[in-house]
Amino acid sequence: MLGAHRERIERDLPATARVLDVGGWAAPMERADWVIDLMPHETRGLYGSSDPARERFSADTWVQRDICDRQPWPFEDDSFDFVMCAQTLEDIRDPIFVCAEMARVGRAGYVESPSWRAELTHGINGAWTGYSHHRWLVACDEQRAEVEFLFKFHTVHADPYRLAPHELSEAERITWLWWDGAFTARERIVMEPAELDEELRAFVAAHTPPPRRRRRLR
């Protein structure tokens, strides 16, 4: 999670707020009262161990289950004041269902995923384009309170559709949505290869950094 956004959550949420972390196993948020994830409580912290002294959740409030199993999560409607889901939706097979459940059980929340700029940059996570294990290109629209998912076609690994290796700031690497009341999620389905070809080429052209000017030696 972007550091500034983590600080905002910790600073602005009142102590009485009931908070759910969706898919937080790899780097759980201590502020969460509940966590729902496929992996068990005792194995948490793959990408960053939380401080047990600060954890509001416990083994009793850690729900281990497949969040995409198309069964309602074991929480009542609007049972959480805040629901967060960071760096998870791009990994899973059914992010539409997960977003619907987040909107059902929460009154407000935060969603974060890698940006198109990160997913289309070659070498950002290895000798390929973007992150090798991600299924979706994700775009958050705060004005429309919407998250859009586009299948990450293998064409992104070809030269015309990828950005050359370059530095991205922490904020440029992500897309995010603060939502209040409700938000929507949808899959964008592309039927014509030419449509995808045109969009990826345009995106790469718009976000390719200008070449560095060489200094002339006198």
- How does strand 82-86 pair with strand 62-64? unpaired
How far apart are the C-alpha atoms of 87 and 44, rounded to whole Å? 15
* Bridging pattern class, strands 184-188 and 174-180: unpaired
pLDDT given at position 200: 95
**Per-residue confidence (pLDDT) for residue 174, from 0 to 100:** 98
Q: Are strands 108-114 and 174-180 parallel, antiparallel or unpaired?
A: antiparallel
- Burial code (b: 16+ CB inside 10 Å, e: under 16) for 182-216 equals ebebeeeeeeeeeebeeebeebbeebeeeeeeeee
Q: Which residues contact 210 (CB under 8 A, 6 or more apart)?
A: none
Q: Output the DSSP codes for 59-105.
A: GGGEEES-TTSSS--SS-TT-BSEEEEES-TTTSS-HHHHHHHHHHH
pLDDT at 53: 86
pLDDT, residue 217, reads 62
Strand ranges for the chain from DSSP E: 19-22, 34-37, 62-64, 82-86, 108-114, 136-141, 146-151, 174-180, 184-188
pLDDT at 17: 98
Q: What is residue 212's predicted lDDT score, i.e. its pLDDT?
A: 67
What does each of the 218 residues of the chain score in pLDDT, given as a tens digit? 999 999 999 999 999 999 999 999 999 999 999 999 999 999 999 887 677 889 999 999 999 999 999 999 999 999 999 999 999 999 999 999 999 999 999 999 999 999 999 999 999 999 999 999 999 999 999 999 999 999 999 999 999 999 999 899 999 999 999 999 999 999 999 999 999 999 999 999 999 977 766 666 65
pLDDT of amino acid 213 = 66
**Which pair of tokens denotes residue 158?**
């070809």
Residue with tokens 């969040």: 67
